[in-house]
Amino acid sequence: MYQFNRDDYNKRMEWYQDARFGMFIHWGLYSIPARGEWLRSTEEMSIEDYQKYFDEFDARDYDPKKWAKLAKEAGMKYVVLTAKHHDGFCLFDSKYTEYKATNTKAGRDLVKEYVDAVRAEGLKVGLYFTLLDWYHEDYPHYGDRIHPMRNNKNCGNENRDFSRYVEYFHKQVEEICTNYGQLDVLWFDFSYDDMRGEKWGATKLMNMVRTLQPQVIIDNRLEASGEGKGSLAEGNPTPYHGDFVSPEQIIPPEGVKDVNGDPLVWEACITMNNNWGYHGTDKFFKPAPMLIKKLVECVSKGGNMLLNVGPDAYGNIPEESVEILSQIGKWMKRNHDSIYGCGIANVPKPDYGRVTRKGNKYYFHMFENTIGPVPLLGLEKNKVKKIRALATGYEIPISTSWVHSDYPDIVFANLGPNPVLPDNIDYVLEVEMDD
Ligand code: FHN
């Protein structure tokens, strides 16, 4: 029986809090109609109407080695792939259903190839697993808040046995925890209304998961969703407590704290455009500079960023996403020390950007230049050991200019006469303090 142990928890979370940056991948049958992964629900589409995508799905260009390389080159340290999304289609070879990739023209266990490819790149392996299942007969249909057949009176729930559904999905979780080697992240999704906690058989599920995968990190969505924090935040961890809080499409304005005001581990999951699954007309991609600054914001508030890509019907990650990840990777190559293993700096947020910290090193992220020398708020002037431009190691002198003589307690960096910063996205000053 799993019982929360703070020391075990802290050890389990070490790599995750160091990693800071991961890739989310939403891919499945919904990538063919390309109107988002919720299209069965939003269009109240029957299984029969959706079947054509199962019949067509061939994963012809699927190459998870490419995905893993892209994630690594972007500076991402872990990847989370939808093993099964709400449509109930399994990317893995489950023996409990026929509704799986191995029964399509693809004819492959896509999860097996994925975990091998991600591990081969030295990245941590994550699998997303839906709690909802719009394919399974025993999942509530008519009257459910989001089921595709929620308004169809012919889809009543009289003969549905939810406990049979719970047993089914537990068996599938056991399969993914048994057949694919060590899992590093298990991303359940999501609880809603009374469908949470023990309704999912959560204690039994997590006892099994923690027996098979004792090191795995799980999100908080057996008891919450993108809303709500979960029992760890309440200081009363259930056996199925989330290891991290999972705000969605938002960066918590003040980070995430528990009832005692102590920082919680959290991860903001964010799409590159406005859809998780591939969407043929959604070209509203967030520019790389914006995403770099948002990653810095997450880290400065003690969190991770899980940035999503939605491969197309064939398995190709959209060119726009590839380009954005390439730009992020260029910045990360020069500045990853200000991200990996960093967190809340506990100094005032500067007007020109943000601050992250790792031990006795503070990273001042300059999204814009200042008028005059750069104030490094919150540092004890006489304890500053050295200042370097992180990207190049270039020595940055402490300013002795008269212009800031009215602020003797603030240390200022002298960037010289050029008003244009060497990095127009985020120029990082590494300030090392005496121990
Ligand atoms: O319904 C899902 C959605 O499709 C997507 O997978 C996101 C990712 O966090 N989670 C749920 C919405 O909160």
pLDDT of residue 78: 99
pLDDT of residue 167: 98
Query: Rounded to the nearest whole angstrom, what is the distance from the C-alpha of residue 231 to the centroid of ligand 1?
Result: 21
Query: Rounded to the nearest whole angstrom, what is the distance from the C-alpha of residue 294 to the centroid of ligand 1?
Result: 20
pLDDT of residue 435: 82
Protein residue whose Cα sits closest to atom 6 of ligand 1:
276
pLDDT of residue 368: 98
55-69 pLDDT, tens digit per residue, is: 999 999 999 999 999
Q: Which atom of ligand 1 is nearest to the CA of 128?
A: 6
Query: Rounded to the nearest whole angstrom, what is the distance from the C-alpha of residue 189 to the centroid of ligand 1?
Result: 7
Q: Which atom of ligand 1 is nearest to the CA of 132?
A: 1
> Which CATH superfamily is 345-433 part of?
Golgi alpha-mannosidase II (2.60.40.1180)
Protein residue whose Cα sits closest to atom 2 of ligand 1:
189
- Regions in the chain scoring below 70 on pLDDT: none
Q: Which atom of ligand 1 is nearest to the CA of 187?
A: 9
Query: Rounded to the nearest whole angstrom, what is the distance from the C-alpha of residue 19 to the centroid of ligand 1?
Result: 22
Protein residue whose Cα sits closest to atom 3 of ligand 1:
276
Q: What is the 3-state secondary structure (H, E, C) of the chain?
A: CCCCCHHHHHHHHHHHHHHCEEEEECCCHHHCCCECCCHHHHCCCCHHHHHHHHHHCCCCCCCHHHHHHHHHHCCCCEEEEEEECCCCCECCCCCCCCCEHHHCCCCCCHHHHHHHHHHHCCCEEEEEEECCCCCCCCCCCCCCCCCCCCCCHHHCCCCCCHHHHHHHHHHHHHHHHHCCCCCCEEEEECCECCECHHHHCHHHHHHHHHHHCCCCEEECCCCCCCCCCCCCCCCCCCCCCCCEECCECCCCECECECCCCCECCEEEEEECCCCCCCECCCCCCCCHHHHHHHHHHHHHCCEEEEEEECCCCCCCCCHHHHHHHHHHHHHHHHHHHHCCCCEECCCCCCCCEEEEEECCEEEEEECCCCCCCEEECCCCHHHEEEEEECCCCEECCECCCHHHCCCCCCEEECCCCCCCCCCCCCEEEEEEECC
In the chain, where does the domain assigned CATH 3.20.20.80 lie?
Answer: 6-336
Protein residue whose Cα sits closest to atom 10 of ligand 1:
189
pLDDT of residue 226: 93
pLDDT of residue 3: 82
Pocket of ligand 1 (CB under 6 A): 26, 37-38, 189-190, 225-226, 248, 269, 276
- Is domain 6-336 given the CATH code 3.40.605.10 in the classification? no
pLDDT of residue 189: 98
Query: Rounded to the nearest whole angstrom, what is the distance from the C-alpha of residue 89 to the centroid of ligand 1?
Result: 15
In the chain, where does the domain assigned CATH 2.60.40.1180 lie?
Answer: 345-433
Protein residue whose Cα sits closest to atom 7 of ligand 1:
276
150-209 pLDDT, tens digit per residue, is: 999 999 999 999 999 999 999 999 999 999 999 999 999 999 999 999 999 999 999 999
If one residue of 80, 189, 244, 245 were mutated to test the ligand 1 pocket, choosing by the most ligand atoms within 8 A of its CB, it would be 189
Q: Which atom of ligand 1 is nearest to the CA of 36?
A: 4
pLDDT of residue 264: 98
Query: Rounded to the nearest whole angstrom, what is the distance from the C-alpha of residue 366 to the centroid of ligand 1?
Result: 33
Query: Rounded to the nearest whole angstrom, what is the distance from the C-alpha of residue 26 to the centroid of ligand 1?
Result: 9
